[in-house]
Amino acid sequence: MSDAVSIIAAKRDGHILTKRQIDWVIDGFTRGTVADEQMSALAMAIVWRGLDRRELSDWTAAMIDSGSRMDFSDIARPTVDKHSTGGVGDKITLPLAPLVAACGAAVPQLSGRGLGHTGGTLDKLESIAGWRADLSAEEIHSILADSAVGAVVCAAGADLAPADKRLYALRDVTGTVESIPLIASSIMSKKIAEGTSGLVLDVKVGAGAFMKNIDDARELATAMVALGSDAGVRTVALLTAMDAPLGMTAGNALEVEESLEVLSGGGHADIVELTITLARTMLTVAGIEGIDPADKLADGSAMDRWRAMVAAQGGDPDAPLPVAKESRTVTAEQDGFITELDAMAVGVAAWRLGAGRERQGEPVQAGAGVRLHAKPGDRVVAGQQLATLYTDTPEKFDYATEAIDAAWGISDSAPVRSPIVLDRVGR
Ligand code: URA
């Protein structure tokens, strides 16, 4: 017999929980017999006390067992997915999924919606007319099995790790998101239940990420790679920089437009580099050799896959993307080199403009967001445009401008350029 109060007290006092206690509490939480306030208290105890490797593995297994697993083992091509821990302007899934499918893998990419300052892949794709995020398990399977498509980006069904859905919503409102074991088990329970055979994790590090320093990011990556490998999912993690936003846009339709530039062979160097590096890593994990993703971007086959992928989910790849009704520009106050561009501040500005939501379920504005005209390393003169803000609700401009005005550092000397990929965990 277990009870919630003694499990909370045990973790509060720094004890190791047994598998029985973990199974009991996650099962009770999923069924509603462990109350939200009890689970919140336990989550806070875990934030402070952590979970050891065995507890983490049992916690993750219990979250997986709270729902059903998907099975793609009958698909002829190897399955491989990518998961990012979340950042500002991180639209990489959009060009990456069709690119890796064009190289011969099947890409099941179950994604989420944005909350707070980080955008959600599904919100971005929903700015395409007709595109549907909610697919049945049969639809997901048949799109993946179709060798002319082979990539699907959609919402996780209600039965995929339901304990995580409930727990994530609680953590979001109780200050318990920032915990390495809770983040690792949350991400990996969904990825293992999803049934992919290979996984590449993009663990973001820096001002715009959950992990602000490389040591924490490495610890999170190591925990997730171990969970994946223990569950038979070949898992590699790249640690990548998230000090400045990725690319030149943050916002839903704006990020789709920028992804189309990458698929057309253009795009800002940082997103192109990260897309190609992640694609190469995914192919290695999937055991596909002799194909360079850079060639598939250049010869248009990744763009063909994108069109097939959008159409397979009801979207019209030729429909014009929504544009916000109003815009306002932000200009440089002095001459010099941009030394800093705070990703968090840009994410907050985009969110305040209407690109993100404050509460689960709220609608987002497709056209709202920020288009950058300059990034760290660029030289600017006073009065030059640094960014354009977009929204349908112009009363939001002042609040968003407050955030973005504070984002820039400008100085007389050029900053040292730092690499995008900082480290790798797993082989
Ligand atoms: N993404 C998740 O799915 N879970 C977390 O806990 C953090 C980021």
Specify the ligand 1 atom closest to the Cα of 190. Answer: 3
Residues 308 and 336 occupy one common structural domain? no
Cβ-proximal residues to 179 (8 Å cutoff; 6+ apart), any chain: 43, 46, 47, 50
Average pLDDT over residues 257-267: 97
**Ligand 1 within 6 A of CB of 79:** no
Specify the ligand 1 atom closest to the Cα of 112. Answer: 3
Specify the ligand 1 atom closest to the Cα of 182. Answer: 6
Quick one: which H or E segment has residue 326? Answer: strand 326-331
Query: Which domain-ending residue is among 263, 288, 312?
Result: 312
Residues 233 and 256 occupy one common structural domain? yes
The strand ranges marked E within 156-303 are: 198-205, 234-241, 249-251
Residue whose token pair is 């697919």: 135
Quick one: which H or E segment has residue 219? Answer: helix 214-230
How confident is the model at residue 264, as a pLDDT? 96
How confident is the model at residue 179, as a pLDDT? 93
Residues 128 and 265 occupy one common structural domain? yes
Interval between CA 160 and ligand 1 midpoint (Å): 14
In a domain, 65, yes or no: no
Residues 100 and 173 occupy one common structural domain? yes
- For residue 108, pLDDT beyond 90: yes
Average pLDDT over residues 90-100: 97
Strand partners, 387: 330, 372
CATH number at residue 401: 3.90.1170.30
Q: How many domains does the chain have?
A: 3
Predicted confidence band of residue 114 (pLDDT cuts 50, 70, 90)? confident
Nearest to 226 by CA among 194, 162, 180, 195: 180
Residues 231 and 301 occupy one common structural domain? yes
User: pLDDT tens digits, residue range 155-164?
Assistant: 988 899 999 9
Residue whose token pair is 């006390």: 49
pLDDT > 90 fraction of the chain, expressed in percent and rounded: 90
Tell me the C-alpha distance between 95 and 124, whole Å.
12
Residues 302 and 339 occupy one common structural domain? no
**Ligand 1 within 6 A of CB of 180:** no
Average pLDDT over residues 295-312: 97
How confident is the model at residue 115, as a pLDDT? 62
Which has the higher per-residue pLDDT, 155 or 117? 155
In a domain, 416, yes or no: no
Nearest to 390 by CA among 258, 250, 271: 250
How confident is the model at residue 1, as a pLDDT? 64
State how far the alpha carbon of 352 is from the alpha carbons of 112, 128, 134, 243, 403, in Å. Answer: 20, 22, 26, 20, 9
User: pLDDT tens digits, residue range 399-422?
Assistant: 999 999 999 999 999 998 889 999
Which among 165, 177, 202 is the best mutation to test ligand 1's pocket, defined by most ligand atoms within 8 Å of the CB?
177
**Ligand 1 within 6 A of CB of 183:** yes
Residues 133 and 214 occupy one common structural domain? yes
Interval between CA 152 and ligand 1 midpoint (Å): 20
Task: Decide if 335 contacts 351 (C-beta within 8 A).
Answer: no
H helices of 207-364, in order, are 214-230, 252-263, 269-286, 293-298, 301-312, 343-350
In a domain, 68, yes or no: no
Average pLDDT over residues 117-133: 92
Residue whose token pair is 């790679």: 225
Residues 218 and 289 occupy one common structural domain? yes
Residue whose token pair is 């939480």: 29
CATH number at residue 40: 1.20.970.10
In a domain, 317, yes or no: no
Catalytically active residues are 83, 164, 171, 186, 190
Interval between CA 85 and ligand 1 midpoint (Å): 7
In a domain, 280, yes or no: yes
CATH number at residue 243: 3.40.1030.10
Task: Decide if 344 contacts 220 (C-beta within 8 A).
Answer: no
How confident is the model at residue 32, as a pLDDT? 95
Tell me the C-alpha distance between 284 and 278, whole Å.
10
By alpha-carbon position, which residue is closest to atom 5 of ligand 1? 183
The number of CA neighbours under 13 Å toward the Cβ of 90 is 32
Predicted confidence band of residue 112 (pLDDT cuts 50, 70, 90)? confident
pTM of the complete model: 0.94
**Ligand 1 within 6 A of CB of 187:** yes
How confident is the model at residue 322, as a pLDDT? 98
Task: Decide if 184 contacts 393 (C-beta within 8 A).
Answer: no
What is the amino acid identity at position 352?
Answer: R
Window from 201-215, 227-241, 258-272, 348-362 with minimum mean pLDDT: 348-362
- The three-class DSSP label of residue 176 is coil
Nearest to 42 by CA among 88, 10, 69: 10
Predicted confidence band of residue 207 (pLDDT cuts 50, 70, 90)? confident
Residues 294 and 242 occupy one common structural domain? yes
Average pLDDT over residues 334-338: 97
In a domain, 69, yes or no: no
Predicted confidence band of residue 173 (pLDDT cuts 50, 70, 90)? confident
How confident is the model at residue 323, as a pLDDT? 98
- For residue 366, pLDDT beyond 80: yes
Query: Which residues constitute the domain of residue 19?
Result: 4-50
Residues 305 and 336 occupy one common structural domain? no
Residues 21 and 84 occupy one common structural domain? no
DSSP state at residue 396: G
Average pLDDT over residues 347-353: 95
By alpha-carbon position, which residue is closest to atom 8 of ligand 1? 85
Residue whose token pair is 């955030």: 403
In a domain, 419, yes or no: no
Cα 295 to its chain centre, rounded Å, is 25
Mean pLDDT (the chain, rounded)? 95
Residue whose token pair is 């991400």: 187
Average pLDDT over residues 186-204: 96
How confident is the model at residue 393, as a pLDDT? 96
Burial track 66-90 (b if 16+ CB lie within 10 A, e otherwise): bbeebebeebebbbbbbbbbbbbbb
Cβ-proximal residues to 72 (8 Å cutoff; 6+ apart), any chain: 79, 106, 108, 141, 144, 195, 196, 197
- For residue 169, pLDDT beyond 80: yes
Predicted confidence band of residue 337 (pLDDT cuts 50, 70, 90)? very high
In a domain, 345, yes or no: yes
Structure tokens at 42: 């336990």
User: pLDDT tens digits, residue range 270-289?
Assistant: 999 999 999 999 999 999 99
How confident is the model at residue 86, as a pLDDT? 85
How confident is the model at residue 332, as a pLDDT? 96
Average pLDDT over residues 163-170: 92
DSSP state at residue 356: S
Residues 116 and 234 occupy one common structural domain? yes
How confident is the model at residue 311, as a pLDDT? 98
Cβ–Cβ contacts within 10 Å for residue 31, how many? 10
Tell me the C-alpha distance between 293 and 101, whole Å.
10
- For residue 75, pLDDT beyond 70: yes
How confident is the model at residue 116, as a pLDDT? 65
Task: Decide if 109 contacts 91 (C-beta within 8 A).
Answer: no
Average pLDDT over residues 297-318: 98
Residue whose token pair is 């859905």: 165
CA angle (105, 224, 215) in 5-degree steps: 120
